[in-house]
């Protein structure tokens, strides 16, 4: 254990976290707002990348989520970004005739109208976050996304969702994946917090039971990514390197560790397997995924050797969040050391102090590269890493901020 009190109890560290969160928000908002609709992809200098502009569903929805966070923090300009994103989700991505939300939009309409469970999970998260921020259109977005998810994606037998469909709702491929289901569990818990409707939490728990308690437990607290339609692990699968890479992804185990702590709280702190899973996932990901020179390998083979040795920003962000909630909720001994170690790597290697934002990808020599990601692709992961440690570990960021904005938890949130 590192000497002294936990960092999250120190006023200087809490002020640093908030300053970094503000710096990230200022980098993305309002620069990312596209007057033609949706949000620009930003270059490394914080300027919109040249057209033609592509607006992916998860990116639009994540920016709505982040704008809701910024609005709850009371940052000027955030409400306009929230309005802008909510309008584009409903007016552009949504198909009012066939239902569902198109994966990628261009200036003149859909570029890829595939209905992806991954993207729909973030639509639900956007609606839940907007509702907690008091947006007037949140209920209709939550209702529409819920109807589509239950009617088209949800498979009650296994207790999880199918993956991809055509605009006419024909299944694209016989594949099931944990990534979309993990983010749906995140969104379902947020929807439960926003609406109080228990079915959201029940289905999140079913997803976690399948992927974490059944499959990750059987794999020694590694998270199998890819499955057959019968939910048998497919170790040979290798798909898109951004969303469906081969092998295992330590960053997803860290993300699940944090989500399991939240789920344990929301379900009444009764299911001991959830805390066992959180600590097991965290310990395994750190032991097997952390590189000797720092940072988490992007993917590991089933022999636990690095498969893709690049270091992406988002596993470090998820490691920070997991370490913070494990230390706060479960007093996990190693979590404080990991919290400091990961932030040290982020501060030294990932924060771009000249251009702004975080470098999304480092090569084997830890120099910035652009093999999978270009520019500054995302606010979501880095912003959450800054704010999770400032809030109670028993709820989502947006629910915590909404509680603080109402006058509760003000001591915990004070910087």
Average pLDDT over residues 212-229: 98
> What's the pLDDT tens digit per position in 226-245?
999 999 999 999 988 888 99
Label residue 410 by pLDDT band (50, 70, 90): low
| Residue 237, token pair as written in the block | 């699968």
- Rounded alpha-carbon distances, angstroms, from residue 195 to 19, 143, 198, 411: 31, 11, 9, 25
Residue 357, phi then psi, degrees to nearest 5 = 70, -160
CATH code assigned at 366: 1.50.10.10
DSSP class per residue in 11-73:
HHHHHHHHHHHHHHHHHHTTTTB-TTSSBPPB-TTSSBPPSSP-EEHHHHHHHHHHHHHHHHH
pLDDT tens, residue by residue, 285-338: 999 999 999 999 999 999 999 999 999 999 999 999 999 999 999 999 999 999
Q: Do the beta carbons of residue 260 and residue 276 sit within 8 Å?
A: no
* Dist CA 390 CA 413 (whole Å): 6
Q: What average pLDDT does this structure show over 2-31?
A: 94
The fraction of the chain above a pLDDT of 90, given in percent, is 92
- As a dihedral over the C-alpha atoms of residue 361, residue 366, residue 368, residue 374, rounded to 10 degrees, the angle is -20
C-alpha–C-alpha distance, residues 236 and 280, integer Å: 24
| Bond preceding residue 168 cis, omega within 30 of 0 | no
Contact (CB, 8 A) for 260 and 277: yes
Q: How many domains does the chain have?
A: 1
Among all residues, which ones are annotated catalytic? 252, 381
Q: Tell me the C-alpha distance between 184 and 179, whole Å.
A: 9
Q: pLDDT tens digits, residue range 78-101?
A: 999 999 999 999 999 999 999 999
| Residues near 214 by beta carbon (within 8 Å), at least 6 away in sequence | none
Q: What is the pLDDT of residue 1?
A: 54
Q: Is residue 360 part of a domain?
A: yes
Cβ atoms of residues 122 and 61 within 8 Å? yes
Residue 158 lies in a domain: yes
CA pair distance 369, 363, nearest whole angstrom: 6
- Give the integer Cα–Cα distance in Å for 317 and 321: 6
Kindly state whether residue 2 falls inside one of the protein's structural domains.
no
Indicate the pLDDT class of residue 415, thresholds 50, 70 and 90: low
Nearest in space to 27 (alpha carbons), one of 402, 357, 383, 362: 357
Quote the CA–CA distance of 119 and 342 in Å, as a whole number.
28
Q: What's the mean pLDDT in 126-131?
A: 98
Helix, strand or coil for residue 224?
A: strand
CA 74-397-287 angle, 5° bins: 135
Q: Which domain holds residue 408?
A: 7-413
Q: Is the pTM for the entire model greater than 0.85?
A: yes
Separation between Cα atoms, residue 127 and residue 124, nearest integer Å: 5
With respect to residue 1, please indicate whether it lies within any of the assigned structural domains.
Answer: no
Classify residue 257: in a domain, yes or no.
yes
Instruction: Say yes or no to pLDDT of 217 above 90.
Output: yes
Q: Give the list of residues 6+ apart from residue 398 with CB closer than 8 angstroms, or none.
A: 65, 68, 69, 72, 128, 129, 132, 133, 190, 193
pLDDT above 70 (res 37): yes
pLDDT of residue 183: 98
135 to 21, 126, 396: CA distances (angstroms) = 22, 11, 18
The 10s digit of each residue's pLDDT in 207-216 is 999 999 999 9
pLDDT of 2 over the 70 cut: no
CA distance 145 to 139: 10
Is position 315 within any domain?
Answer: yes
Higher pLDDT residue, 54 or 385?
385
Counting residues of the chain whose pLDDT is more than 70, the rounded percentage is 98
CA distance 415 to 411: 9
* 50 in any annotated domain: yes
Whether 249 maps to a domain, the answer reads: yes
């Amino acid at each position: 254990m590192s000497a002294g009190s936990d960092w999250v109890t120190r006023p200087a560290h809490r002020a640093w976290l908030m300053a970094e969160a503000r710096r990230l928000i200022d980098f993305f908002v309002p620069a990312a707002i596209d007057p033609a609709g949706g949000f620009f992809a930003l270059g490394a200098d914080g300027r919109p990348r040249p057209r033609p502009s592509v607006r992916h569903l998860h990116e639009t929805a994540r920016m709505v989520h982040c704008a809701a966070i910024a609005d709850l923090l009371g940052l000027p300009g955030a409400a306009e970004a929230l309005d802008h994103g909510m309008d584009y989700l409903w007016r552009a991505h949504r198909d009012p005739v066939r239902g569902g939300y198109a994966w990628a939009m261009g200036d003149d309409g859909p570029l890829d109208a595939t209905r992806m469970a991954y993207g729909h999970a973030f639509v639900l998260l956007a609606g839940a976050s907007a509702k907690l921020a008091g947006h007037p259109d949140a209920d209709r977005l939550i209702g529409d996304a819920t109807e589509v998810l239950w009617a088209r994606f949800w498979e009650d037998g296994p207790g999880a969702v199918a993956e991809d469909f055509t605009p006419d709702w024909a299944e694209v491929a016989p594949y099931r994946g944990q990534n979309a289901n993990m983010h749906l569990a995140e969104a379902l818990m947020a929807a439960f917090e926003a609406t109080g409707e228990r079915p959201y939490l029940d289905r999140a728990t079913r997803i976690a039971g399948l992927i974490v308690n059944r499959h990750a437990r059987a794999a020694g607290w590694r998270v199998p990514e890819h499955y057959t339609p019968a939910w048998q692990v497919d170790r040979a699968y290798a798909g898109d390197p951004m969303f469906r890479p081969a092998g295992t992804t330590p960053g997803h185990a860290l993300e699940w560790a944090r989500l399991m702590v939240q789920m344990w709280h929301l379900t009444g702190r009764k299911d001991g397997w959830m805390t066992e899973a959180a600590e097991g996932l965290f310990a395994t990901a750190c032991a097997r995924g952390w590189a000797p020179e720092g940072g988490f390998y992007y993917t590991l083979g089933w022999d636990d050797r690095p498969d893709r040795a690049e270091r992406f920003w988002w596993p470090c962000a998820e490691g920070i969040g997991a370490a913070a909630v494990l230390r706060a909720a479960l007093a996990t001994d190693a979590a404080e050391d990991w919290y400091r170690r990961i932030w040290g790597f982020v501060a030294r290697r990932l924060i771009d102090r000249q251009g702004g934002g975080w470098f999304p990808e480092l090569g084997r020599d830890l120099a910035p590269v652009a093999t999978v990601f270009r520019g500054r692709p995302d606010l979501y992961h880095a912003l959450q890493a800054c704010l999770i440690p400032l809030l109670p570990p028993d709820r989502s960021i947006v629910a915590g901020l909404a509680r603080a904005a109402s006058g509760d938890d003000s001591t915990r949130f004070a910087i």
